[in-house]
C-alpha cells in the first residue's frame, strides 16, 4: 500500500524535483536541503504513478550507510510496494551484482572474489619480487594508485597511454599487465575492476547493454559531484534507451578529486544530457542563518560553480566566532575550555572538531587526556580491517573459493603450523612454473614429496581441514555461521588467542564474537563475503558521550550542533600541496572543503588559527589563512585577542627558537596586525 503522504512537508522546489519525471534532471542540492527526502519521495512518486516497477528503478549511492537509509525511507513510504527495489545500492555493489550475472564476458567465474587493499599490496609485492623490481624505489601503494587512476579513466592495460610527465608510468604499465592477468587467474577483481568490467561489458556487448538500458526506466544518483569518469560513463551507457536520469549533488561540496572525482561531471551535466532541467534546493534545514551566510559568502569566491544561495527559516543564531591563538597548544586549551563552558547546553556527541590534516588531533588528544574529556577519532581502524577479522574472513574466502591465493597465503600458517617463509616461497615458485593456484600446488608438492618434513605435517593437516569444511558447507550440514565457529576451533585459532592472557587478545576474541553476530544478518556465505568486501568506514557505531574528532573530508554527510574548525593557517588550510599540484583548481577545492566544514554546524561554529605551530619537530610562524580574510565581517565575532592593546601582545607571535630583533615581526604577526586594524 503506497502512503500518499510522501508529498507532504515538501517545499516548492523539493516538490518540483519530485514531480518532474520526464527527461534528464540535475538537482543542485545545497547542504542540509533535504536531498535524501527528495530522492526517496521521487522513487515513491514513480511507483505511485506507475511510471515503472521497482525493479526498473536504478538508485545509486556512494556508501552502504546511505543506501540502507534510502531503503528504509522508501520502505516506510511505500510499505509492501517497496518490495522488488532490487537495484538500490552503491556503485560497487550494483556493478558487482551486474558482473556476477555476466562474469564470463570479463573472463571471470560468477563466484569471483573481491580483494581488498591489503591483498592488492601483497599481490603487487609478489609481482615485483618475481620481476626483480625494487619496491623501495617503486612503492606498491604508489603502483596501485597509478593502476587505480588508469581504471578510473576506463583503461585496461592494453589501452593505457603513458603520461610523459610521469617518469614512473612506463615502469608501472608492465606491472599492471601482469597484475590484471593475475586477478583473472585468481578469479578475482579489485574495487576498480567492478565498475571497469561492467563498463567494458556494456560497451562491447550491445545485447547486454540493450537489456539494462531498456529495463532501467529511471536512474537516480546521489552525490553526483563525487563521481569519477568511469562511473559517469557507466551511467551514460545505461541511459541509452531511456533518458530519465536524475542526478543530485552539490558542486560546492566536491572535495574528493584526490580520489578521482571529477567536478566537471556535475558542471557539464547539461552538455552531456540534452534538454536537462536544473532545479536548485536552496532551503537549508540544518543551520542558522548566520552560519549559512558565512559559508555562502566564502564559497562565492569560487568561479567554477553552478551557483546557489542558501537560506533558512530558522533564527539568525549566534555569530560565527573567529579565534586567534598564540600556538597550537593554546588553541587546544582554548577549544577544550569552550567545550567545558558549553557542555551542559550541547551534548558531547553533538560537538565536533574538524581538522584539515590528521596530525592536528595530537594537541587536542593530549589536552583531552589531561583534563579527562572523553573523545573519539572518527576514521580509525575499521572493524573489517582488524587483523583478527581479516584472518577469519580469509578462512571463509579460501573455503568459498579455492583459487583465492591471497587468502590462502594469509592463513596457511596462521596459527603457526611450522610452515615457514621458505616453504611458502617454494609453493609460490611451483605455482608460477606450473600455472596452478597455491592450494593445488601445495597438494601436488606433497604428493611429489617436495615439502620439508617439518612443514609437511602442518600443511597436510591444513589442506585436509579445507576439504572437510567445504564438504560440510556444500552438503549443508552446517550454516556459514557455524562454519566459522568450527574453523576457529579446529584450526586452533581460538586456542591461540585464549592461551595469551592479555587485554589485546581479549579484545580480539570479543571482535570475533561480534563478527559471528554480524554474519547472522546474511542468508549465506557468498552474500556475507560480498558485504565484507563492500563495507565502509561510516558503518561503525560509537557508544557513550564523546567529543568527535575527524578530518573535514571525513565529516561530509554528518552534522553537529557545535563545530570547531581549528588550524586555518596558510600552508595548512588551504593546504600548500593542493595549491602546488592543482593551482587554482586546488585552491577552489580547498575552499569547498571550508564550505563543507562550516555547513556541518547546526547552531554554533568556531573558526580558529594560531600564530605559531609545532610541526615536524620545529616551531613555524603561521599566517592566518586567506579564507579568514574572506569571512564576512557582518556575521563574525572575534575573540579578545583581536582587541588587546599592542603592548599586551608584544611577544604574541614570536618564535622562541630564534633571535628576533625588536623591529622584526614574523609573518604571523604581520597578518595579525592587518586583522586588528
| The C-alpha cell that represents 404 in the structure block | 583465492
Cα(248)–Cα(29) distance, integer angstroms: 7
Cα(609)–Cα(567) distance, integer angstroms: 5
Q: What is the pLDDT of residue 446?
A: 92
For the cut 60, the answer to whether the pLDDT of residue 485 exceeds it is yes
Q: What is the pLDDT of residue 464?
A: 95
Q: Per residue in 266-281, is it b (16+ CB within 10 Å) or e — as a string? A: bbebeeebeebbebbb
**Is 317 within 8 Å of 603 (Cβ atoms)?**
yes
Cα(32)–Cα(30) distance, integer angstroms: 6
Q: What is the pLDDT of residue 640?
A: 62
Q: Which long-range contacts (CB under 8 A, 24 or more apart) does 661-667 make?
A: 666/611, 666/612, 666/621, 667/621, 667/622, 667/623
| The C-alpha cell that represents 211 in the structure block | 537489456
Which secondary structure element, helix H or strand E, spans residue 302, and what is its range? Answer: none
Question: At 322, is the secondary structure helix, strand, or coil?
Answer: strand
Q: What is the pLDDT of residue 168?
A: 83
Q: What is the pLDDT of residue 608?
A: 96
| The C-alpha cell that represents 327 in the structure block | 600556538
pLDDT digits (tens, 9 = 90+) for 583-605: 999 999 999 999 999 999 999 99
Q: What is the DSSP string of 585-596?
A: HHHHHHHHHHHH
Q: What is the pLDDT of residue 262?
A: 87
Q: What is the DSSP string of 663-674?
A: T---HHHHHHHH
- Catalytic residue, chosen from 148, 222, 404, 570, is 222
Measured distance between the N- and C-terminal CA atoms of the chain, rounded to whole angstroms: 65
Give which of 333, 341, 326 is closest to 370, Cα–Cα: 333
Q: What is the pLDDT of residue 359?
A: 72
pLDDT digits (tens, 9 = 90+) for 209-251: 999 999 999 999 999 999 999 999 999 999 999 999 999 999 8
**Is 393 within 8 Å of 480 (Cβ atoms)?**
no
Q: What is the pLDDT of residue 81?
A: 55
Cα(537)–Cα(45) distance, integer angstroms: 32
Q: What is the pLDDT of residue 224?
A: 93
Q: Specify the higher pLDDT residue, 519 or 598.
A: 598
600 is catalytic: yes
Cα(133)–Cα(266) distance, integer angstroms: 40
Burial environment of residue 559 by CB neighbours within 10 A (0 to 12, 13 to 18, 19 or more) = middle
Confidence of residue 475 (pLDDT cuts 50, 70, 90): confident
**Is 555 within 8 Å of 426 (Cβ atoms)?**
no
673 is catalytic: no
List helix spans (H) across 373-492: 387-400, 405-411, 421-434, 438-447, 453-474, 480-491
**Is 598 within 8 Å of 321 (Cβ atoms)?**
no
Question: At 111, is the secondary structure helix, strand, or coil?
Answer: coil
Cα(43)–Cα(81) distance, integer angstroms: 11
141 is catalytic: no
Confidence of residue 669 (pLDDT cuts 50, 70, 90): very low
Which secondary structure element, helix H or strand E, spans residue 339, and what is its range? Answer: helix 328-342
Q: Specify the higher pLDDT residue, 66 or 675.
A: 66
Cα(55)–Cα(61) distance, integer angstroms: 16
pLDDT digits (tens, 9 = 90+) for 276-305: 999 999 998 899 999 999 999 999 999 988
Q: What is the pLDDT of residue 82?
A: 59
For the cut 50, the answer to whether the pLDDT of residue 675 exceeds it is no
- Catalytic residue, chosen from 35, 73, 546, 671, is 35
Beta strands in 514-582 (DSSP E): 547-551, 560-565
Q: What is the pLDDT of residue 646?
A: 39
Confidence of residue 80 (pLDDT cuts 50, 70, 90): low
Confidence of residue 642 (pLDDT cuts 50, 70, 90): low
Cα(310)–Cα(282) distance, integer angstroms: 5
List helix spans (H) across 599-638: 626-629
35 is catalytic: yes
295: number of Cβ within 10 Å: 28
**Is 114 within 8 Å of 196 (Cβ atoms)?**
no
253 is catalytic: yes
Q: Are strands 618-621 and 601-615 parallel, antiparallel or unpaired?
A: antiparallel
Question: At 537, is the secondary structure helix, strand, or coil?
Answer: helix
Which secondary structure element, helix H or strand E, spans residue 325, and what is its range? Answer: strand 320-327
Q: Specify the higher pLDDT residue, 544 or 266.
A: 266
- Catalytic residue, chosen from 61, 227, 253, 312, is 253
Furthest-apart CA atoms within the chain: distance in Å: 87
Per DSSP, what are the bridge partners of residue 391? none
Q: Looking up cell 550507510, which residue turns up? A: 65
Q: What is the pLDDT of residue 506?
A: 67
**Is 522 within 8 Å of 483 (Cβ atoms)?**
no
Q: What is the pLDDT of residue 614?
A: 59
Question: At 190, is the secondary structure helix, strand, or coil?
Answer: coil
- Catalytic residue, chosen from 223, 338, 391, 569, is 223
177 is catalytic: no
**Is 496 within 8 Å of 391 (Cβ atoms)?**
no
Return the minimum-mean-pLDDT range out of 129-138, 291-300, 342-351: 129-138
- Catalytic residue, chosen from 37, 233, 600, 671, is 600
For the cut 50, the answer to whether the pLDDT of residue 537 exceeds it is no
Cα(440)–Cα(455) distance, integer angstroms: 16
In the DSSP assignment, the letter for residue 647 is G
For the cut 60, the answer to whether the pLDDT of residue 623 exceeds it is yes
Confidence of residue 254 (pLDDT cuts 50, 70, 90): confident
Amino acid at each position: 500500500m503506497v502512503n500518499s503522504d510522501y508529498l507532504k512537508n515538501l517545499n516548492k522546489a523539493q516538490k518540483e524535483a519530485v514531480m518532474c519525471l520526464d527527461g534528464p534532471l540535475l538537482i543542485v542540492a545545497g547542504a542540509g536541503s533535504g536531498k535524501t527526502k527528495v530522492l526517496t519521495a521521487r522513487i515513491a512518486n514513480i511507483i505511485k504513478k506507475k511510471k515503472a516497477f521497482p525493479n526498473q528503478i536504478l538508485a545509486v549511492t556512494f556508501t552502504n550507510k546511505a543506501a540502507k537509509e534510502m531503503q528504509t525511507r522508501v520502505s516506510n513510504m511505500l510499505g509492501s510496494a517497496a518490495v522488488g527495489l532490487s537495484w538500490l545500492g552503491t556503485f560497487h555493489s550494483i556493478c558487482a551484482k551486474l558482473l556476477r550475472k555476466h562474469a564470463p564476458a570479463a573472463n571471470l567465474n560468477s563466484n569471483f572474489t573481491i580483494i581488498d587493499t591489503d591483498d592488492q599490496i601483497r599481490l603487487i609485492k609478489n609481482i615485483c619480487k618475481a620481476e626483480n623490481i625494487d619496491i623501495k624505489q617503486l612503492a606498491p601503494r604508489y603502483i596501485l594508485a597509478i593502476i587505480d587512476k588508469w581504471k578510473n579513466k576506463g583503461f585496461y592495460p592494453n589501452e593505457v597511454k603513458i603520461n610523459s610527465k610521469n617518469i614512473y608510468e612506463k615502469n608501472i604499465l608492465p606491472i599492471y599487465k601482469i597484475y590484471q592477468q593475475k586477478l583473472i587467474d585468481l578469479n578475482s577483481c579489485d574495487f576498480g575492476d567492478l565498475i571497469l568490467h561492467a563498463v567494458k561489458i556494456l560497451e562491447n556487448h550491445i545485447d547486454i547493454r540493450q537489456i539494462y538500458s531498456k529495463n532501467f526506466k529511471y536512474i537516480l544518483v546521489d552525490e553526483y559531484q563525487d563521481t569519477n569518469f568511469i562511473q559517469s560513463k557507466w551511467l551514460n551507457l545505461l541511459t541509452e534507451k531511456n533518458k530519465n536520469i536524475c542526478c543530485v549533488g552539490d558542486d560546492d561540496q566536491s572535495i574528493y578529486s584526490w580520489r578521482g572525482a571529477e567536478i566537471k561531471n556535475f558542471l557539464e551535466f547539461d552538455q552531456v544530457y540534452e534538454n536537462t532541467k536544473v532545479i536548485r534546493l536552496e532551503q537549508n534545514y540544518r543551520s542558522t542563518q548566520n552560519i549559512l551566510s558565512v559559508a555562502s559568502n566564502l564559497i562565492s569566491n569560487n568561479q567554477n560553480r553552478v551557483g546557489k544561495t542558501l537560506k533558512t527559516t530558522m533564527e539568525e543564531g549566534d555569530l560565527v566566532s573567529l579565534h586567534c591563538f598564540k600556538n597550537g597548544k593554546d588553541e587546544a586549551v582554548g577549544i577544550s575550555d569552550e567545550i567545558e563552558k558549553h557542555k551542559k547546553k550541547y551534548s558531547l556527541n553533538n560537538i565536533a572538531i574538524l581538522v584539515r590534516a590528521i596530525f592536528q588531533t595530537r594537541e587536542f588528544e593530549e589536552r583531552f587526556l589531561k583534563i579527562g574529556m572523553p573523545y573519539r577519532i572518527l576514521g580509525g581502524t575499521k572493524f573489517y580491517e582488524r587483523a583478527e577479522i581479516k584472518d577469519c574472513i580469509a578462512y571463509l574466502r579460501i573455503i568459498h573459493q579455492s583459487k583465492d591465493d591471497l587468502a590462502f597465503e594469509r592463513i596457511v600458517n596462521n596459527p603457526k603450523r611450522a610452515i615457514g617463509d621458505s616453504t611458502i616461497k617454494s609453493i609460490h615458485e611451483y605455482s608460477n612454473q606450473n600455472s596452478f593456484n597455491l592450494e593445488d600446488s601445495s597438494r601436488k608438492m606433497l604428493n611429489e614429496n617436495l615439502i620439508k618434513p617439518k612443514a609437511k605435517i602442518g600443511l597436510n593437516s591444513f589442506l585436509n581441514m579445507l576439504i572437510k569444511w567445504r564438504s560440510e558447507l556444500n552438503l549443508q550440514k552446517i550454516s556459514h555461521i557455524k562454519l566459522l565457529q568450527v574453523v576457529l576451533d579446529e584450526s586452533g585459532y581460538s586456542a591461540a588467542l585464549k592461551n595469551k592472557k592479555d587485554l589485546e587478545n581479549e579484545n580480539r576474541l570479543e571482535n570475533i564474537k561480534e563478527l559471528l553476530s554480524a554474519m547472522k544478518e546474511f542468508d549465506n556465505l557468498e552474500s556475507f563475503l560480498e558485504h565484507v568486501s563492500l563495507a565502509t568506514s561510516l558503518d561503525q557505531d560509537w557508544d557513550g558521550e564523546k567529543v568527535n574528532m575527524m578530518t573535514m573530508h571525513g565529516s561530509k554527510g554528518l552534522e553537529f550542533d557545535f563545530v570547531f574548525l581549528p588550524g586555518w593557517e596558510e600552508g595548512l588550510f588551504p593546504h600548500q600541496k593542493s595549491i602546488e599540484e592543482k593551482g587554482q583548481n586546488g585552491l577552489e577545492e580547498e575552499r569547498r572543503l571550508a564550505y563543507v566544514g562550516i555547513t556541518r554546524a547546526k547552531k554554533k561554529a568556531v573558526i580558529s588559527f594560531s600564530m605559531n605551530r609545532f610541526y615536524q619537530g620545529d616551531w613555524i610562524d603561521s599566517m592566518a589563512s586567506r579564507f579568514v580574510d574572506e569571512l564576512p565581517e557582518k556575521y563574525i565575532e572575534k575573540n579578545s585577542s583581536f582587541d588587546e592593546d599592542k603592548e599586551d601582545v608584544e611577544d604574541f607571535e614570536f618564535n622562541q627558537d630564534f633571535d628576533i630583533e625588536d623591529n622584526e615581526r614574523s609573518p604571523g604577526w604581520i597578518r595579525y596586525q592587518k586583522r586588528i586594524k
